[in-house]
Structure 1
Amino acid sequence: MQSPRRVRELGVVVGTLPTGSLNAITDVPGVRVGQTTITGDGLNTGVTAIVPDGWEATLPAAVAVGNGYGKLIGTTQVDELGVIETPILLTGTLSTFRVADAFLTWLLDRDPRATSLNPIVGETNDGHLSDIRRRPITPAHVHAALDTASPALPTEGCAGAGTGTAALGFKAGIGTASRVLPTPAPPSARAASAAPPAGGAGGYTVGALVQANFSGVLTVLGRPIPAEPIEADGNSCMIVVATDLPLDSRQLGRLARRAIFAMARVGSDYAPGSGDYAIAFTTSRTPSVADRDLRTPFQAVTESVEEALLNSLTMARTTTGFRHTVRAVPHDRIERSV
């Protein structure tokens, strides 16, 4: 029996940029995460809510699609307008629409005059470990995830929308990580404003949260750790990237694409039945970063997503579900690979 441990506790250090204090998406100022977990009686599923401050007035955002075999509600309006106007929710595939409806009720309760809202709900298929056809998520589960969202370190592994997911042959789930940019701001952003940036350690922060549920061969710092393949229905990955960098929606799209690229670093095979999506948003509404200054933010995204994916695995526990048992990755195999 092994206890869940983050990948850094196993001696794996991804990349060269420093992490935030929590090494989580919640290191980005104003970003909170809430989760509802459902287990027992053939169920392993839940809801994960990413709630940024200021969403009511819209925030710049973009969506990238690696492979569109999935259900991601609200994407066309994000593409059209370049903003999100709600938090972001994640869940299991067949519960996507029930979650969206309950989410809409929560939003309408907060704006009695609203006649148009664009809830964003993503999913991966947890039917390997949960009786997905029962669609067990209720409005109470959705509202609890939103109402309890916190700036603390989110629970990783078998939690929320990751309770029933598996990746790279092992039990996976929710994972998160962050990076702090090594300078207070890119040169072009410093020239645009004399005000100090709002990010951690005097600089800006990039954070990622993943719902990992995809196939391939687990690869840790370039070394493969093969497992028995899992014959699961649907293999996908949802990635949410948050930052306080002053970027526009086009630049956030570039970050979102790098998030999907980062899946390859841990061994994704980008299977035909995989829905691989990334949503990137910023809590800043005053874009002032030039494209030539995106090299380090790109690095921050790929490092954060790679480490978040590894955390989703090393923080998970062996789980017996509706049809199968999926084992956690043995930590000693990771430690031997370093």
Structure 2
Amino acid sequence: MPRARDLGIEIGALPTGPTNSVLDVAGVGLGHATVHRDDPLVARTGVSCLVLAEDAYLRPVPAGGAVLNGAGECTGFLTATEWAAAETPVYLTSTLQLGRVYDAACEIALDAHPEVATEVVIPVVGECDDSWLNDCRRMHVTTLDVRTAHAAALASRGGATPPGEGAVGAGTGMSCLGFKGGIGTASRTTDDGHTVAVLLLTNFGVREQLTVAGVPIGRMLPPAPAEPPTPAGSCIGLVVTDAPVDGASCARLARRIGLGLGRAGSVAHHGSGEIFLGFGTGLRLDRDQRPDGVPLTGRGLDPLFPAVVEAAEEAVLNSMLTAATTVGRDGNMSESLHSPEVLALLRAGR
């Protein structure tokens, strides 16, 4: 399925990285394990893994977080914001699978680092609710799925093509702005040569508020054949940059993800959990969280802020355009944004 730029939809003014994805940040990888079956139970779910740096446990990366609306969960969020550091990959999954993914993430960390036995590790695992399409009363995700996503993330680092998006991994059962949502990513490069990339798990909003490159597409479309009875809930947003930023600056970058979601149509409904984390790979920390360089702060962050907003807005669209129409539990359906009607409205609006 095409991404936004494949269809001539350009968001913002900054150039993208080579793959227009999180893979444009050196050392970062993204992998998925998709669980899609109908027998014996309907499963539209999975797990995605973002590797920030293979040696992050020994040399943590600066981290910071922000919350737009807190009706959701992300393990490790408090520790990352308190210590301003992250030492594990970030895992994404569906709400009721979070515990299973957390357990598997601990096992992966224990396998890789025997010293965890005395120092403890708190994996970062974020969730969104995929119960519109997925039979969430059954535990579909296995330890093998988590290990598969992690191995795929390690293998993807330095890749020359964009990673899977849309209805893959954790995005398999997600819905967004009245259409099929899921995994979306995009990147930007700044004038001073830094790369800023955003990864989203989109599962928020209602159809009438969908906005594409400033065009109020949602108000121009007829009502959906079927939508969740309440606004789809939540978006986990991750931003990672190779700029030398500290934890406080990572939190400021993370907060800007919400501006990108707002441009696409988010209003952060009551039951929605917009939880954001930012990470920097340009500085690294020792086990006592001491940086190995001088961070970029203050007005030096200004070039990074629009990069986050543009990449987040485009990542929303990529998550929807690359996702095929999906039928799931009880015949519930989320239709793809990539349709002749939507494309015609976009051409007319531009």
The TM-score, its normalising length taken from structure 2, stands at 0.88
Distance (whole Å) between structure 2 residues aligned to residue 289 and residue 83 of structure 1: 16
Structure 1 residue corresponding to 2:74, chosen from 72, 75, 80: 72
Displacement of 1:331: 3.7
Aligned to 1:169: 178
Q: Which residue of 1 aligns with 2:335?
A: 327
Instruction: Tell me how far 1:300 sits from its aligned partner.
Output: 0.3
Can you list the C-alpha shifts for 1:82-103, whole angstroms capped at 9, x where unaligned? 0001000000000001100111
Secondary structure of the equivalent of 1:94? helix
* Aligned partner letter, 2:152: T
Map of 1:124 onto structure 2? 128
| Cα contact 1:247–1:282 (8 A) shared by 2 | yes
Instruction: Please tell me the residue identity of whatever aligns with 1:327.
Output: E
Whichever residue aligns with residue 321 of structure 1, its letter is G
Q: Once structures 1 and 2 are overlaid, which stretch shifts more, 87-96 or 71-80?
A: 71-80
Looking at structure 1, the residues matched to 19 and 77 of structure 2 have their Cα atoms a distance apart, in angstroms, of: 29
Corresponding residue to 2:299 among 282, 292, 298? 292
Within 5 Å, give how 1:106-117 maps onto structure 2.
Answer: 106-114=108-116, 115=118, 116-117=120-121
Asked if structure 2 preserves the Cα contact closer than 8 Å seen for 1:127 and 1:233, the reply is no
Aligned to 1:160: 169
Contact 2:205–2:231, Cα closer than 8 Å, also in 1:
no
Q: What's the offset of the Cα at 1:325?
A: 1.1
Which residue of structure 2 lines up, in the alignment, with residue 81 of structure 1?
83
CA distance in 1, matches of 2:232, 2:261: 16
Q: What secondary structure sits across from 1:220 in the alignment?
A: coil
RMSD: 1.3
Is 1:301 aligned with 2:308?
A: yes
What is aligned with 1:187? none
Q: Which amino acid aligns with 2:195?
A: T
Matches within 5 A, 1:1-338: 4-41=1-38, 42-53=42-53, 54-56=55-57, 57-114=59-116, 115=118, 116-149=120-153, 150-151=156-157, 152=159, 153-183=162-192, 203-216=193-206, 217-226=209-218, 227-228=223-224, 229-231=227-229, 235-285=233-283, 286-323=293-330, 324-332=332-340, 333-334=342-343, 335-336=346-347, 337-338=349-350
Judged with a 3 Å threshold, the aligned counterparts in structure 2 of structure 1 residues 287 and 211 are, in CA distance, closer, same or farther, namely farther
Alpha-carbon deviation of 1:326? 1.1
Any unmatched runs of 5+ in structure 2? 284-292
Query: What is the CA–CA distance in structure 2 between the aligned matches of 1:106 and 1:277, rounded to whole Å?
Result: 24
CA offset digits 1:187-211 (Å, max 9, x no partner) = xxxxxxxxxxxxxxxx110001110
Q: Which runs of 5+ in 1 are unaligned?
A: 184-202
Q: For residues 330 and 32 of structure 1, do their structure 2 counterparts lie closer, same or farther at Cα, with a shift above 3 Å needed?
A: closer
- Tell me the CA shift for residue 70 of structure 1: 0.6
Alpha-carbon distance in structure 1 between the residues aligned to 2:82 and 2:337: 41
| Cα deviation code 1:209-240 (max 9, x no counterpart) | 11000013210121112253432585100111
Residue of structure 1 equivalent to 2:286: none
Q: Which runs of at least 4 in structure 1 moved beyond 4 Å after TM superposition?
A: none
Question: Is contact 1:260-1:277 (8 Å) kept?
Answer: no
Residue pair 2:30, 2:51 contacting (<8 A) in 1 also: yes
What fraction of aligned residue pairs are identical, expressed as a percent? Answer: 40
Q: Contact 1:88–1:121 (CA<8 Å) still a contact in 2?
A: yes
Aligned pair in 2 of structure 1 residues 44, 232: CA closer, same or farther (>3 Å)? farther
TM-score by length of 1: 0.91
Going from structure 1 to structure 2, the CA distance change for 1:208 and 1:105 (only over 3 Å counts) comes to same
Alignment partner of 2:75: what SS? Answer: coil
CA distance in 2, matches of 1:19, 1:165: 26
Which letter does structure 1 place at the counterpart of 2:235?
Answer: C
Counterpart of 1:134, as a letter, is: R
Q: Encode CA deviations 1:148-171: one digit per residue, 9 max, x unaligned.
A: 211232101110100000100001
Q: What secondary structure, in the 3-state scheme, does the structure 2 residue paired with 1:62 have?
A: strand
How much does 1:20 deviate? 0.2
